Structure 1
Amino acid sequence: MDRLVTMHQREYFRLKLAPPLCADMTIVMIKGKTMEVGSTSVLIEDISGGGLRFLTHLKLPVHDQLVLQFETNVFSQSLKMYGHIVRSAQWDVGINEYAVKLTMEEAMHREINRVVNRLAIRLRQKGALPAGSFLQGDRREFLAAVRLREEQL
């Protein structure tokens, strides 16, 4: 019964991604101040029109004044999403999991929702991944390689 209640509380359908979607994440604003910093590669584990959950080697604060940008590609279409972290947890040693609430104009929420629904249908019908930035390999190895590459910069 609890699962049913949770499903009804969500405004958008949430799709678990297996394999996850690779994305570039950038901090774009802190406390209303625009930032110009580099990006890092993260793995989007699930996504909906209202939020996403991702894995990274970085430690980030749970704060609604920290605005993140995620850029990825699905169905050969570039997606750019903005949001702030609402929850964090340790996923594995040196890997953190974050839940993000997307904070964009309603039209963009609807567009993300359309892509998520289309992707869910495609995965259910064909079982094959569409063109996009999906991970080919192991999550831990991917994030370890991202960390190593960034440490060498």
Structure 2
Amino acid sequence: MRYNRSESFRFVFSDPIDASFSIAERGGKSVSTKQGKAVIADISPSGLKLMTHLELPMEEPLILSIFFKIRNEELEIKGVPMWKKRVNSGFQYGIRSTEEDEILRDRIVKELKDYAQHNPKM
């Protein structure tokens, strides 16, 4: 599967933002896992690129709960890892959001606009 890059925009952070995540579902069953540390390299209304030192099992469908703060507001997105790439410091994952919530998408766009205004080095 390929990551969909046809969305309206993709915001690339000059310095990746901190995030944490846990596995919410594995193979269609709810699970409870410890939170792992990660950073978000880029984000769009339909997904994000997550980087972590943890290797996730890709053999069966996963849904992750990803927690992060772009500027002021704590956000949570549920998403499906679509691809995995090994990098020097760990792994990159392309995450497709499973959220259909327009309000959440609007909050993300608002936070990104605020972030861009206050981070002119971008």
Q: Map 1:138-149 to 2 at 5 A.
A: none
Name the counterpart of 1:142: none
Q: Are 1:105 and 2:100 counterparts?
A: yes
What's the CA shift for 1:63? 6.2
**CA deviation profile, 1:107-136 (whole Å, cap 9, x unmatched):** 22332233223323443xx449xxxxxxxx
Gapped runs of 5+ residues in structure 1?
Answer: 1-8, 129-153
Letter in 1 for 2:57: P
Are 1:74 and 2:70 matched, yes or no? yes
Q: How high is the TM-score relative to the length of structure 2?
A: 0.82
Greater helix percent: which structure?
A: 1
Matched, 1:27 2:23: yes
Aligned counterparts, 1:34-113, within 5 A = 34-62=30-58, 65-92=61-88, 94-107=89-102, 108-113=104-109
More off after superposition, 108-117 vs 13-22? 108-117
Q: CA RMSD in A?
A: 2.1
Q: Is contact 2:27–2:61 with CA below 8 Å preserved after alignment?
A: yes
**Partners of 1:113 and 1:26 in 2: how far apart?**
23
What percentage of residue pairs aligned between the two structures are identical? 24
Tell me which residue corresponds to 1:118. 114
Higher strand share: 2
Query: 1:22 is paired with a residue of what secondary structure?
Result: strand
Encode CA deviations 1:12-53: one digit per residue, 9 max, x unaligned: 311111211111111011122111111011011111111100
| Unmatched runs of 5 consecutive residues or more in structure 2 | none
Give the distance between the partners of 1:50 and 1:114, measured in 2 at CA: 15
Mean alpha-carbon deviation: is it higher for 96-105 or for 63-72? Answer: 63-72
Shift of residue 58, structure 1, vs aligned partner: 1.2
Length, aligned pairs only: 117
Partner Cα separation in structure 2 for residue 95 and residue 47 of structure 1: 19
CA distance in 1: counterparts of 2:78 and 2:24, whole angstroms? 9
Q: CA deviation at 1:91?
A: 1.4
The answer to whether the Cα contact below 8 Å between 2:70 and 2:112 also exists between their aligned partners in 1 is no
Deviation at 1:64, TM superposition (A): 7.4
Give the TM-score normalised by structure 1: 0.67
